[in-house]
Structure 1
């Protein structure tokens, strides 16, 4: 009986895998249809990163005098805080592209520039390279992906509890969803940072899928984090730890930036099923946003396209999308941003199995709203 059940499960697993198309197959099919310049480094993207660093520095320079502004005029700083918040978003997305090699290929320059770009995200570049480039991209939405939803079967740790409290779902409290929009990125960074620095063991249970780094990477992560900490303290000291200056020019822009980032992050994969084979058209989602946001945010809404060609110039994501519509229209997941958000608020956020979402208590089972089930 046990052997029969094992044989049936092996058959089911094989059917599931056969329904998937690996990322490299899409890449090999579409690569000849794209121009060579799409894969050439575009150093102009460094200018974008630099401009947004300057915007933040200018914002803090203006804020240094906020204690001399009449209280009734402080609201005039709010538009600049919003612009600074957008710069936080752009710094992550431009650093993200930089570390995929789409801007420059010089490793040392890449590390220095990305350190500046990721400072307000509290993300050491070496950690980002490990958690995002190495783990997430190679194991997208699999059991080994540290960026996936938690499994219902995983222990109810503080990490799982906070994510359940913060992420959009059919159970989320609007207040905690709002809090989560401004702080979930920080929780994500804290979980992975403490996991590798304090334990560096795959048995760590408060992250979705713990991973390890080698000793050289671990030392680099610790050193980069100390530099990031000193840079933040320098900003706070420059603002004289003044509550008004800190709220308007530090906490508010960072909160706005994190909210914008996490909106994209939530829709990237959290509505998608788990896959044992890394199939970007099944485990990823692209969204439609107003063109101004694609312009400002380096086409980050084209996320499935990015997972097929991680190192491509982001200017060419729309062309990749057109090719996907032609060659894989029956598999490609593309939704308006508002529709994706609505679906997230109508579904639970824990994986029960590869085809089913469930809630914290395992009482509500919902089949994935995107595309076909794996067994189809």
Structure 2
């Protein structure tokens, strides 16, 4: 295995210096999609005046708003990694605005994603990994088993899960940190702790996010029709879209004790339009090599990986990755074997060949 710092040390001199410079122009994407959401809510405020037979005309707006939810996560993700601006205070404010629709406090994001996930990717201590078969069957494990893509999942629950898995992930980690802040918490895949200062900041950010959502609901007059079309539907569409990417990032990969992104991460091929629309988020292995790089340079990182580490990178078409998710169980029996809830099936990770060879 090769560790992430080793890849970065070898490849960084081969990339242009501007790849590592802040790209403040990308703030436009974050702000633009906030404006799109606000515009959608402004239009929705008049829905009670629309004839019933014209309400379907709002559905394309719901779809555009749903995409804005996706872009807000991905643009905030880049922002919080420091590839857009370096001013921490402004980063925190904009991160709060960008992540509010996702119920994710930016301080929590920096802890769970930047610090824990990126440094411990798909290891025993990664909070974003699959549950272990040997872990207790808690409510968190039960819910994830119910609706994540797997060989056993019911299509109806999979649909429900696509629109709500992000919320469950956020709720699990938030309650673990705010209520317990102890590594013994067993309803998350891997519990982590934060400092007392971070914990207070996260609590404050949660209250601000709650207030923002209440403002939106109040602006929409708590009207069921307005909420259904301009709040719940766009959020459901957005969460489903981002979870499609997130499920493929590591769920098919073997666990690794050494943080080797070419083994424990997966990049997918999507139409170029979606790479343009979603800030190259499909280049996930490349992101794990250089978390703070300008996302425009991910394709160049891929070229270098394929040149210097031929045959080692996990790269699949998006459809193929999704089908593999639906053909395999979701709990780790060991580092490269999946099993199901009843422990009746054992399937080797389809991406484990590189682990065996290396």
TM-score range, shorter chain: over 0.9
User: 1:97 touches 1:311 (CA, 8 Å); kept in 2?
Assistant: yes
Match among 212, 215, 219 for residue 234 of structure 1: 215
Does the alignment pair 1:365 with 2:343? no
Task: Indicate the SS of the match to 1:374.
Answer: helix
Deviation for aligned residue 1:329: 2.0
TM score, norm. by length of structure 1? 0.94
Alpha-carbon distance between aligned partners in 2 of 1:371 and 1:195, rounded to the nearest angstrom: 31
Alpha-carbon distance between aligned partners in 2 of 1:235 and 1:277, rounded to the nearest angstrom: 44
Alpha-carbon distance between aligned partners in 2 of 1:293 and 1:232, rounded to the nearest angstrom: 28
Task: Indicate the SS of the match to 2:355.
Answer: coil
Question: What whole-Å deviation, never above 9, does each CA across 1:248-271 have from its counterpart, x for those lacking one?
Answer: 000000000000011111000000
Task: Indicate the SS of the match to 2:41.
Answer: helix
Hey, what does 2:21 align to over in structure 1? 40
Match among 90, 99, 106 for residue 109 of structure 1: 90
Hey, what does 2:106 align to over in structure 1? 125
Task: Indicate the SS of the match to 2:259.
Answer: coil
Hey, what does 2:53 align to over in structure 1? 72
Question: What whole-Å deviation, never above 9, does each CA across 1:102-150 have from its counterpart, x for those lacking one?
Answer: 0000000000000000000000000000000000000000000000000
Hey, what does 1:6 align to over in structure 2? none
Gaps in structure 1 of 5+ consecutive residues:
1-19
Deviation for aligned residue 1:372: 1.4
Hey, what does 1:5 align to over in structure 2? none
Match among 34, 40, 43 for residue 53 of structure 1: 34
Alpha-carbon distance between aligned partners in 2 of 1:300 and 1:329, rounded to the nearest angstrom: 22
Deviation for aligned residue 1:325: 1.1
Alpha-carbon distance between aligned partners in 1 of 2:317 and 2:356, rounded to the nearest angstrom: 26
* 4+ long deviations beyond 2 Å: 373-376
Hey, what does 2:238 align to over in structure 1? 257
Alpha-carbon distance between aligned partners in 2 of 1:102 and 1:185, rounded to the nearest angstrom: 24
User: 1:200 touches 1:212 (CA, 8 Å); kept in 2?
Assistant: yes
Alpha-carbon distance between aligned partners in 2 of 1:65 and 1:330, rounded to the nearest angstrom: 55
Alpha-carbon distance between aligned partners in 2 of 1:156 and 1:96, rounded to the nearest angstrom: 31
Does the alignment pair 1:276 with 2:287? no
User: 1:354 touches 1:374 (CA, 8 Å); kept in 2?
Assistant: no
Residue correspondence of structure 1 range 102-251 to structure 2 within 5 A: 102-251=83-232
Deviation for aligned residue 1:375: 3.9
After superposition, the CA RMSD in angstroms is 0.7
Gaps in structure 2 of 5+ consecutive residues:
none
Deviation for aligned residue 1:70: 0.5
TM score, norm. by length of structure 2? 0.99
Alpha-carbon distance between aligned partners in 2 of 1:242 and 1:200, rounded to the nearest angstrom: 38
Structure of greater Rg: 1
Alpha-carbon distance between aligned partners in 1 of 2:105 and 2:160, rounded to the nearest angstrom: 24
Deviation for aligned residue 1:73: 0.3
Alpha-carbon distance between aligned partners in 2 of 1:373 and 1:289, rounded to the nearest angstrom: 23
User: 2:331 touches 2:338 (CA, 8 Å); kept in 1?
Assistant: yes
Alpha-carbon distance between aligned partners in 2 of 1:158 and 1:171, rounded to the nearest angstrom: 18
Deviation for aligned residue 1:328: 1.2
Hey, what does 1:331 align to over in structure 2? 312
Alpha-carbon distance between aligned partners in 2 of 1:263 and 1:355, rounded to the nearest angstrom: 22
Deviation for aligned residue 1:327: 1.1
Does the alignment pair 1:304 with 2:304? no
